[in-house]
Amino acid sequence: MPLYMIIEHFKNNDPAPVYRRFRDKGRMAPEGLLYISSWTNESLTRCYQLMETSDRTLIDNWIANWSDLIDFEIHPVISSAEATQKIAPRL
């Protein structure tokens, strides 16, 4: 299933409204969008989430729940093992 690195930029560099909504409502991800893991920078202004789905439109549906608080970047990614296989013929 395709993986996506989602970079969240908290509006006004303020994580409090994001964490408050998450506490109160959860991730609010639609069925079929699987959360893998996430990391936040030390200044708490940006979050990096790895998610998985076979339906890219589910990411847009999820973003609609958060776009008032977060600006998003969506990047399709592959694992290092997949990258190694992909580049192997050129080595």
Residue that has been written with the tokens 């996430």 in this structure:
38
Of 8, 89, 11, whose CA–CA distance to 49 is shortest? 8
pLDDT at residue number 71: 98
CB contact at 8 A, 3 and 50: yes
Question: pLDDT digit string (tens) for 35-89?
Answer: 999 999 999 999 999 999 999 999 999 999 999 999 999 999 999 999 999 999 9
Alpha helices in 4-76 (DSSP H): 16-25, 57-64
CATH number assigned to the domain comprising residue 66 = 3.30.70.260
* pTM, full prediction: 0.91
Q: State which residues form the domain around 85.
A: 3-90
pLDDT at residue number 31: 97
pLDDT at residue number 77: 98
pLDDT at residue number 30: 98
Q: How many domains does the chain have?
A: 1
